[in-house]
Amino acid sequence: MVIRRNRRLEWIARNRLHPEHSAVLMGVNGGDEIGPSGLVRKRPHDIGFIGPNGIKRIDRLGNSLATMAGAGAHKGQAEVSLPLYVVENASQYVAVVLDAPEGRLSEHDKDLLGLAQQLKAAADNAASTAVAAIIFSSAAPEAARIESYQLAGVDRLIVLPAESDDYQPEQRAAQICALTAQYDFIHLCFPDTVLGGADTGRRVAANLAERPATSVWKLDGTQLICRGAAGKTDITRPLSKVIIALEQCADQIDESKHECLALSADAITLSASRIEDLGKAQVNPNDIDLTEANFILSGGNGIEDWDRFHEAARLLGATEGASRVAVDDGFMPRERQVGATGKWVTARVYIAVGISGAIQHMQGIGQCDKVIAINTDDSCDMVKRADLSIIADSDAILTALIETLSNQSSAEFHPQEAVA
Amino acid sequence: MTANSSKDIAITTLLSVGQHPLSARPRRAEEDARALEVMLQFAPASMKALHAGDTADAQNLTVLKDYLGMGIPSIDVIPTSADSDAAEALASYLANAGDGQPHILLTGTRSEVGESSGFLPYLLAEKLAIPFVPNICDILSIDMAAGVAEVMQSLPRGQRRKIKTQLPFVASVGMAAAIPRQSSFGAARRGVINTVSSIDTVADEAQTAWKTEPARKRPKRLKVVKAKTAAERFKAATAKVQSSGGEKIYEVDKAAEAILKLLKEEKVL
Ligand SMILES: Cc1cc2nc3c(=O)[nH]c(=O)nc-3n(C[C@H](O)[C@H](O)[C@H](O)COP(=O)(O)OP(=O)(O)OC[C@H]3O[C@@H](n4cnc5c(N)ncnc54)[C@H](O)[C@@H]3O)c2cc1C
């Protein structure tokens, strides 16, 4: 048989940009291209499919290319699923007592879980060692919380009952000691937080007659590196049972998912606490050091009536701060200055009244959580930084605030009154 | 509760030798001096100061004199060598004190030299089987009849909390307490240093295996970009941090409401 060549189709088959190119290739020969010598030619360009990010992919596992390509195009960026680490038949535990305010993991808690995973890897029988997180809570944590624990490196979870959020260090230490008797943890890790893990951890250590390693900031093989002499020295010491670790003591877990299976704790009867929490005492906000204050009302060059500013601060129960201009002009004392040459504040809410937001001032408020700006100029830097900006005259706003607060104070409002 | 009965108690303050953070010279430990100040201001019927340390060291003696200069008539010193465990010495001394055991034992929260673990007050409380209250800044009141005391505890962010505890108790005094008074030369000369007859001290053997060196700077944690594809890496390197671009309000009458709403959400009001 003489094969007649169709020069036009051959030309279209060579020209990949031709609109009929693919139709011609799939055409008469049932998809096979016959070369000039009559041999069937392979076309390597046809293998694979275009992936979701526009890159050509070749699937050698034999999945259907067409469905893959279709699914990929729909999903867009496929979600990465982290590998799940499973500890079967755990025979020993590294315990981590988390601060977890309201069940939420703090950064310090996550660092500590990272350290615990390192301790687990360094343990004698690493394969059957699990990291057990201990939290105090009145109710079982909800699913979203469990998910966050799984991603932070919790293999097992123990929820100890807590009646209230009151300061009950003796009760908590007793609960943890009872749990230690039940599970015989190889290590007990605590975050070094004032009146949190630092307190409970030392109580537990005293009760177990163990010498705690405190201010730990690194695990180096099987040695712990701790800060000593109030932060002036580094002490390298062997591993201890009770470990009280600083922030950033280890890298957080972020490339694996863990089981977070529930472990049960034997119920124990607690003896009556010898310490009783009588509740928070009211503090004059201006006695709080500016660097520690939680809520700051700060005034700058845009304030006209300073008496009104002080009145508003008193009614709000805010600690007073100032920009350098206000201090230089003599309206505020020097120790109230916020900024590069003043104090670096860490407030949760910072209200800047009539402050333009010069870089020297912004440096000082870098660690503030929420910023409210009150300014006449809606293009100034403070407004750009602020979470809520009021573009109006400072005097009018302060007056409005004072009015609202004094109206409400008689009804449901209880702002912190300054104690003389 | 009358003022007299509340003062009719015995307080002992534990004193240690501190170290200046820059010059490394021995000095009054800042928190111990504050603990002494809390005791002097409360002015109970019986005040004592106790120190465990090396009395042969001339520099330690000058520091003890500084404490005496604050107005305490005498300091009892338990002689221990530099490598022994002060906690053990203090615990066995206090446990054997019998009637001389104080109602309140004040310490600093942690020492300025050595391990600086802040464990000593916990250990003492455990050995003496009495409660421990950390980080106090003041003693508010004492009710001898009921056997309870109220103290003010300092929390982070300048907050305060009242704590009621059973007597006797151990408490550590933090930096939030009143600034200690200056040391006066006359009082320092008049003050006496009593050496307590010898106590069996235990050498701190665990510590001999430790390696101590000047503090290294801790590495700052870097933001690690864990991108799988080149496109993600490119995005991480070039994308600007999203500025939240907060809400802007132009009307005066709405402003006060909006501010108060945010303050309540943040729980600062
Ligand atoms: C070496 C150096 C160090 C410095 N260190 C500091 C520091 O530590 N802290 C610091 O704060 N500064 C510091 N400064 C000064 C800083 O550069 C600015 O000059 C200063 O912060 C500006 O203060 P201000 O925002 O109060 O005043 P201005 O810049 O005058 O801003 C006033 C703002 O108020 C607004 N305004 C005016 N009238 C009203 C009104 N009726 N109602 C509402 N808003 C009104 C204006 O629109 C303006 O935005 C330093 C400067 C130098 C050179």
Domain range annotation of chain B: 6-208
Pick the range with the lowest mean pLDDT from B58-62, B147-151, B265-269: B265-269
Q: How confident is the model at residue B208 (pLDDT cuts 50, 70, 90)?
A: confident
ipTM score here?
Answer: 0.87
Is the pLDDT confidence value at B227 over 80?
no
Q: Is a pLDDT exceeding 90 seen at residue A301?
A: yes
E strand or H helix at A133, and its extent? strand A129-137
Residue A337 alpha carbon, nearest atom of ligand 1? 9
- Banded pLDDT at A30 (limits 50, 70, 90): low
What pLDDT, in 10s, does the model give residues B135-191? Answer: 999 999 998 888 899 999 998 888 889 999 998 999 999 988 999 999 999 999 999
| Residue-level pLDDT at A319 | 93
**Tally of residues, chain A:** 420
pLDDT tens track for B75-109: 999 888 777 778 888 888 888 877 778 899 999 99
Distance CA B181, CA B187 (A): 12
In this prediction, residue A225 carries a pLDDT of 93
> Mean pLDDT, chain B, as a whole number?
86
* Residue B93: Cβ-neighbour burial (10 angstroms; 0-12, 13-18, 19+): middle
**Cα(B54)–Cα(B50) distance, rounded to whole angstroms?**
13
Which residue's CA is the nearest one to ligand 1's atom 4?
A: A360
Q: Pairing state of beta strands A40-41 and B148-154? A: unpaired
pLDDT of B3 over the 50 cut: no
Q: What is the pLDDT of residue A419?
A: 40
Cα A283 to ligand 1 centre (Å): 29
A residues 110-139 near B, CB within 8 Å?
none
Using an 8 Å Cβ cutoff, are B103 and B12 in contact? no
Mean pLDDT across the stretch A305-309?
93
CA distance A97 to A132: 9
pLDDT(A52) > 80:
no
- Which pLDDT belongs to residue A62? 57
Instruction: For A267-285, write each residue's pLDDT tens digit.
Output: 888 888 898 888 888 888 8
Residue of B nearest to A350 (CA): B263
Using a pLDDT cut of 90, give the percent of chain A over it. Answer: 41
Assign domain A285-406 one CATH number from 3.50.50.60, 3.40.50.1220, 3.30.2310.20, 1.10.20.140: 3.40.50.1220
Residue B119 has pLDDT above 70, yes or no: yes
The predicted structure's pLDDT at residue B243: 53
Token pair of A149 as six digits: 């624990």
Question: Per-residue pLDDT for A353 more than 50?
Answer: yes
Over residues B175-203, the pLDDT tens digits come to 889 999 999 999 999 999 988 876 777 77
Q: What is the pLDDT of residue A96?
A: 94
Mean pLDDT of A165-169: 86
Tell me what pLDDT residue B237 has.
75
Contact A234 B116 (CB under 8 A): no
Judge: A293–B248 Cβ closer than 8 Å, yes or no.
no
| A84-263 is classed CATH 3.60.20.10 | no
Which CATH number does the domain B6-208 belong to among 3.40.50.150, 3.40.50.620, 3.40.47.10, 3.40.50.300? 3.40.50.620
Give the per-residue pLDDT at A77.
Answer: 47
A333 or A16, greater pLDDT: A333
Q: Distance between the two ends of chain A, CA-based, in angstroms? A: 113
Query: A329 C-alpha vs ligand 1 centroid, how far in Å?
Result: 11
pLDDT tens-digit map of A144-161: 888 899 999 999 999 988
Domain spans, chain A:
84-263, 285-406
CA B18 – CA A319 distance, rounded (Å): 33
Distance from the A177 Cα atom to the nearest Cα atom in chain B, whole angstroms: 14
Are residues A404 and B260, on separate chains, in Cβ contact within 8 Å? Answer: yes
Model confidence pLDDT, tens digit, residues A201-212: 999 999 999 999
| Residue B5: predicted pLDDT | 56
The per-residue DSSP string of A14-34 comes to H-TTSTTHHHHHHSTTTTPEE
CA of A299 to the centre of ligand 1 (A): 9
